[in-house]
Structure 1
Amino acid sequence: MGDKLKVAIAAGGTAGHINPALALAEELVSRGHEVHFYGQATRLEATLVPQAGFPFTPLDLTGFDRSRPWTLFTSLWKMSRAEKSLSREFAAGSAPDVAIGFGAYIEMPLINCCVRHKIPTLVHEQNSVPGLANKSSAHKVKSVCVSLPVAIDAFKGKVGAGTQIIVTGNPVRKSVINARRDEGRRAFGVPDDARLLLVFGGSLGARHLNQGVVALKDELLSREDLYVIHSTGKGEYDSVVSSLALTDEEAARWQVMPYIDRMGEALAAADLVLSRSGASSVAEIAALGTPSMLIPYPLATADHQTTNARYLVDAGAAIMLPDDDIDTPAFRSDLLALVDGADRRAQMAAAAKGLGQDRAAAALADQVESAAGLGD
């Protein structure tokens, strides 16, 4: 094997699974290792992984829909077929030295196949509440790596006798970590001496958050040095633009867009973030050390966005408000207090940086190398 590893990564479905996997891949390649991705041809990974320059092999899988029990048979049949395909590939000389899954069901044939071939395996859990795939794989793998300490308890009783549970943090891509304030300001046309509020909620559950911010338009713009970058989510863009009804003068300070492609630059440029608290958002906010006000999506599975947010809140890096409070005076007073509170924001930024989230990719890469026997 030597010091150069062949690492297989299974990640797919959503950017929340894929981007941490890409961050790990970047770190592994920087250490001289070789990385190969597995995913589905019809999902987001088939676009994002090749765009990032990594080899990608599609696997034909379908998930199990609990509301349609008969889909279990098709799912299991395709899972078995995918495992056999991987076994043939490995037997032909393409076996990895180590494999890691990032929580979507696409990981299961890879993990199962590697376990049968005695190839060391790991899984990484991005959220505070583990998904079904990682809970199902946990007893088979050498290490379960989690983003948040609170996730440790969720895996107890589900891991094998020799399985380690290790907190690594949630890897963030270098394009985010390496973003700089001055470059971000130039990219979005925001003056160096202005205050910048960054608002985003994603395409899921952003409507109420958008409505709350729109209602504060006049008060926010009354602060003549305040700029707003507002990512509405694709489904909400037209509605938000219509509700804001910005004049040309107002639009110069309030940029509305359906999606932010350059999130690293936006976070680096911002003085304050108002957002939901998905796992990737929390990781990126922490990695850039940006003060934040978090409004967890109330319908998230097991309310995991609230648990995600507590990671920053308990560290003093963020404040959190329930979604129901968007329509109360608390939303207005808390947000404007942070907009106007430079000293408070400086304290929150220092607390976020102290979490070391920018080192998560390296910590996870260390675990991959350890599982493969490097350094033993």
Structure 2
Amino acid sequence: MLAVLSGGGTAGHINPALALADELVSRGWDVRFAGTPGGVESRLVPAAGIPFTAFEASGFDRSHPASLAKGVAKIAASTGKAKKWFADIKPDVVVGFGGYVCIPVARAAEKTGVPVVLHEQNSVAGMANKYLARRADAVCVTYECSAESLGATAPVTVTGNPVRRSVIEADRAAGRAMFDLAEDDFMLLVFGGSLGARHINEAVVALKDELLARPNLHIVHITGPKELDAVTKALALTDDEARRWHLLGYQDRMGETLAAADAIVSRAGATSLAEISALAIPALLVPYPFATADHQTTNARAWVESGAAFMMPDDELGSDEFKAKLFALIDDASVRESMVAAARAQKTGEAAAALADVVVGVATAR
């Protein structure tokens, strides 16, 4: 059996696809990936050992009507290219994860009789998935609340957001060894996604003295590449302080880093939340306020309501409430234990298998 996975634009679309690829390959399937030539998928997918085929696709700017014609022309050309590709490789199913590249790939599948499954990672659906949901054979979602906005005509299944095995199976001891942590050290992980988050950085830096006053506390602070110099300057760590405040601009070993953490402060992107949940890490979430339709706040609210996390609006960072929630997370073991239990109840670690079950069911039903 052969599955073609498609997604583009952000790692948030690609990582769940790679998690599904892991699961399907473990079941004896072949997997190919269709993405854009210049997107992050063109780097991440080949690095994962999955054959990659590029298709041009782009959105449009409503204030520039000419961009619509250009986008439509790209999609039409890529649809034709994908049809020829399908005639050669003969896929059994196409799975779309979002991004404009999914449109020509799914349209080619529709025209050639290949079933289509969609997965929506966020609480608010993206434009491509909204367009394709009415044509898909099955739709899977992370959050039940996003099903209605998709307008799907096919069955909708809440699977959760798949997480790669490299994260789920990451070794905590290896992660803690990276930062030279003793068994009784407490590790607070701070990060804002792949590009960092200036407001989070500033709020945590402002609490430097109070954080370092806790002798067994280590802060692993991933600032984002563009923020590293500014944060380094603002902290002005002594050599002794730097042994417990570990500054990184970027971290490519996030699986082990997450596994090593005892608590986390982060944004509320779909992939970050899925990984935090799969590893049951107590968290203080700070949604990015300018995400489309404020979907990170909706994402985070689901975890807060389940008891798996605290949440703080971005414009309230630095407030007394932020400080109180952060130190409750660090100092109160009962708070962390409650969050761990709530996160484990979400069963996010089973999401890849749940999505694979839907994919296999659709592919074998024809």
Shared fold, TM over 0.5: yes
In 1: Cα distance, 2:92 partner to 2:279 partner: 33
Q: Which whole-Å deviations, capped at 9, do the CAs of 1:46-98 have from their partners, x for residues lacking one? A: 1110000000011122322223220111111111111111222223x312110
- Residue 215 of structure 1: aligned partner: 206
In 1: Cα distance, 2:194 partner to 2:47 partner: 22
Match of 2:147 among 144, 152, 156: 152
Deviation at 1:327, TM superposition (A): 2.5
In 2: Cα distance, 1:334 partner to 1:76 partner: 48
Contact 1:120–1:372 (8 Å) recurs in 2: yes
Match of 2:217 among 217, 226, 248: 226
The one-letter amino acid paired with 2:118 is V
Q: Which whole-Å deviations, capped at 9, do the CAs of 1:141-189 have from their partners, x for residues lacking one? A: 011110112212212xx223xx011101101011100013222111222
Deviation at 1:203, TM superposition (A): 4.7
Deviation at 1:279, TM superposition (A): 0.5
The one-letter amino acid paired with 1:59 is F
Deviation at 1:19, TM superposition (A): 0.6
In 1: Cα distance, 2:57 partner to 2:149 partner: 27
Deviates further, 132-141 or 310-319: 310-319
- Residue 242 of structure 2: aligned partner: 251
Which residues of structure 2 form unaligned runs of 5+? none
- Residue 294 of structure 2: aligned partner: 303
Deviates further, 360-369 or 342-351: 342-351
The one-letter amino acid paired with 1:65 is D
Q: Is it true that 1:98 corresponds to 2:93 in the alignment?
A: yes
Q: Is it true that 1:25 corresponds to 2:18 in the alignment?
A: no
Q: Is it true that 1:179 corresponds to 2:170 in the alignment?
A: yes
Q: Which whole-Å deviations, capped at 9, do the CAs of 1:331-358 have from their partners, x for residues lacking one? A: 1111112110112111211111111000
For the residue of structure 2 that corresponds to 1:354, the secondary structure is: helix
Match of 2:116 among 118, 121, 136: 121
- Residue 206 of structure 1: aligned partner: 197
The one-letter amino acid paired with 2:101 is I
- Matches of residues 1-376 of structure 1 in structure 2 within 5 Å? 5-91=1-87, 93-155=88-150, 158-160=151-153, 163-204=154-195, 206-373=197-364
Deviation at 1:245, TM superposition (A): 0.5
Deviation at 1:42, TM superposition (A): 1.1
Deviation at 1:215, TM superposition (A): 0.1
Query: What is the TM-score when the length of structure 1 is the normalising length?
Result: 0.95
In 2: Cα distance, 1:178 partner to 1:285 partner: 13
Contact 1:203–1:232 (8 Å) recurs in 2: no
In 2: Cα distance, 1:244 partner to 1:202 partner: 20
What is the total number of aligned residue pairs between the two structures?
366
Change (3 A) 1:180 1:343: farther
Deviation at 1:205, TM superposition (A): 6.6
Deviates further, 60-69 or 166-175: 60-69
Q: Which whole-Å deviations, capped at 9, do the CAs of 1:207-264 have from their partners, x for residues lacking one? A: 1111000000000000000000001112211111110111110000000111121111
For the residue of structure 2 that corresponds to 1:193, the secondary structure is: coil
The one-letter amino acid paired with 1:25 is A
Deviation at 1:22, TM superposition (A): 0.5
For the residue of structure 1 that corresponds to 2:364, the secondary structure is: coil
The one-letter amino acid paired with 2:99 is A
Q: Which whole-Å deviations, capped at 9, do the CAs of 1:259-315 have from their partners, x for residues lacking one? A: 121111111111100111111111000000000011111111111111111121111
For the residue of structure 2 that corresponds to 1:327, the secondary structure is: coil
Contact 2:96–2:117 (8 Å) recurs in 1: yes
Contact 1:203–1:235 (8 Å) recurs in 2: no
For the residue of structure 2 that corresponds to 1:62, the secondary structure is: coil
In 2: Cα distance, 1:300 partner to 1:205 partner: 14
In 2: Cα distance, 1:67 partner to 1:174 partner: 42
Q: CA RMSD in A?
A: 1.3
Contact 1:205–1:297 (8 Å) recurs in 2: no
In 2: Cα distance, 1:265 partner to 1:90 partner: 38
Contact 1:291–1:348 (8 Å) recurs in 2: yes
In 2: Cα distance, 1:87 partner to 1:202 partner: 36
